[in-house]
Chains A and B, each alone.
Chain A
Amino acid sequence: MFVLFFFSESLYSRQNQEVRGFISDDETGRPVSSARVYVDNSNGSSTFSDSLGFFNVSVIAYPCVLKIDHPGYKSELIRMDRPSGGEFSVHLKPQPYQLREVVVTATRQPVSMMSSPSGVSYIPASNLEQSAAITLGEVLATTPGMFVREYGSRSAIQTASIRGTYSEHALILVDGVRYSSLQTGIGDLGLFSLADIDHMEIVRGGHSALYGSDALGGVVNIVTSRPAENLVAGAEASAGSYGYEAYGLSLSGTTAGFGWKGSVRKELGRDDYPFEFENGSTQTELRRTGADFNLLFVDARIDYGHTGEINGSLTASYTDADRGSPGVVTGPSSTGGARLGDRIARVRTALEFPGGGPFTARLTAAFSDAGETYYDPGTTVGGIALNSRHSNHDLVMNPELLYSAATFTANAGLEFSRGSVQSTDLTDAVRWQRSIYVLSTHSISLPFAVPYEAMLYPSVRYDLFTGQPGDISPRVGLNIGLLRIPETHLRLSYAKSYRVPTFNELYWNPGGNPNLLPERSYSLDAGLSGLLRWSGVWTFEASIFSINTEERIVWSPDAGGIWSPRNIASALSRGLELEGTWADEDRVLSCTVNSTWTDATKTSEDFPGDLTFNKYLPYTPRQTVNFSATVRLDPFAVTTLHSVVSFRYADEMNQTILPGYSLTSVTLRYALTVAGANTFMKAAVTNLFNRSYQVMPLYPMPLREFRLTIGGTL
């Protein structure tokens, strides 16, 4: 650690002196946000470092001891005999193990993964660098409790299903702002670029108490990257099987206190891969047709920070996707020529006012304009090809006040939104949302050696949507520090969550049901996590979960034969997640293995004698296993990932089966610094053993694929 003090004698005599500083990572030099800074022995205030690493605390009397805690770093104690003038810098040393990552999605306050009240996964950008994946779905699928429904390769829709719940029960956020569609309730994971992601946080279990509607199964928060401190220009290009091409350019830097960046990425391909079409004993090799894609991602961001006064960021993104959507394959003549077009523009601004004391005020405002077209020349209505157009607008304002003291933090926030839909298939609708939430964290040191600490996480949220009854979503969370060595934590949370009906369910023409009520769920999550340093660093995590969903919305024909949704079903999902990691001290070799067992069953009878009662829900694997290993021998790094997905039932009666599959991918990355430029080359093989498989019924997936990427930053 290296601390710089700037002394100023003239200020020495003043009391309630303000101390300002900047905290950075000792290894990377990047600012460290969310570090807790406080003056020991109640001799001053406490605060968290802001998103640019700056902090302000006031000191009552000197000498004093300033404490800086961050779950990802070794704590620092700074003794100050007299006031310092100006800012001083603190360089924190990172803790050399996993589970040290700080997540905000689980509690809306920074907390280490070990101290979270619910099951959490953290995917850093370095994992994406080493991954053979080209879609977000492929990356998320490797985390515990997650099953990604894939309807083809890069061109296809992908949706997340967490802990045996449906895709509309996984709330997708980008930088904390809702991304999931108001119209369908689903976040299409196929519409993301992996290039602009800093890290991802996945929290499992019901989280409506923090995020409102849709967070029944869990929340995926995609955190985009920040501008660089120095001027960085990046470029990369990829080529691969079936016409895959990708090009990316990025520029980032800081000018006059403003951090800025911009990037553009294009991905295109034919996805006309061969696949084995099986029907009974008949096996035919067919080729996927009409699945080409052309994707454009444009992102821009400006960050502004002024110590202790205001931090702000403005992000804008635009996605333009044109994708073939050939649908199910039931024979040589069943492929369609439909196309799916998406144009999504999003703007988000976040302002943070640190205020100097324990209070911080935040204001987040976001607007999205999502347009989608579905054109199918093979489906004609009255002689005219089907050409559905949907336009969704979503405006959100989220003011929030944060309080942080040494052993207590609290958030109180409001959320207002206006969502609207205009569509060729729906009645036009506008829906307002008014929400309020309060949550806190309490850290209690216990007077025992075992357990030594308890963290309490109570939270409650109230949401009111136009035309819907209000919903109160409470959560109680607990994390107990059991042992210091090996570090072991127990966690428990119980939450009530809900999902407000989507625009499709309310307003589809014909059949939409404006009288629908929200779905409600009760979820329990209990887990044990541990960390052991012995021949490297071991981490272990085990969770059991249960999600009981009531008033589930199911579409079925009414007496007049029109398909219409009703609140008729309930489901119970229970399971076990295990994850273990190991890395040697120098992180030359690191391994992760996880496995999830899920039992999701329908617990309601549609009528007496309903044969689907107590049967497993379709498309939910009973077990998934992921094993990955990485060897880093500079300048080379090799990663292999092996994933196993068990069989899924393809029907509510549990009579038809989609076979299980296992997939292996290998990535070789070679990084070299040439004349100040960091260059890399990455070669990847997916589906190494050329397996024929389907994730969802009748949507064939590609056989073995190769991809090569070269790129660099200057």
Chain B
Amino acid sequence: MAPGAASAPQAQPTVLALDISARGAAAQGFAGLVCAAVEAQAGPVRDPEGMRLAVHEAIANAVQHGCLELGSDMRQTRAGHEVFAAVMLDRMATPGYGDRRIQLSADWAGGVVSISVHDPGPGYHPSTLASRATAGAKSGRGLAIIRSLAHEVVVSPDGRCITMRFLR
């Protein structure tokens, strides 16, 4: 046995890891599949609907803002919404956007399940986003929803990775 190996603290293992393109992650019901896989291994969480929605929002952010580099500001009007949808469709099919990879990982220990979503996009400074969306705002609500559903949320300083913790 290597010196010190017996007493070295064991890092929390990542027990589920996925690497998927933006196109794959955008498939309908993908967040539900991820959460089902986690719950099949970790056992039930207290609020499965809440976890599914929070993971869905985190993946949608990683796809739209991270991989496709779409700002959400244009979704404030009907016309802007249509432009957003058209550009999204176009970028999804464009090499360098839709084939970018998102990494998901999950681990669980004690009373907590932790799920992280990491995208390769330009990132953002977490402090620039309000923790609660303005009433009536048609976009920019995803992170506020995640914060309301998860027990704890940590966004990496570069804005590319969100870790959500849920109670079991």
The finding on whether chains A and B are genuine partners in a shared complex, rather than unrelated, reads no
- Contact surface of A with B, Cβ cutoff 8 Å: none
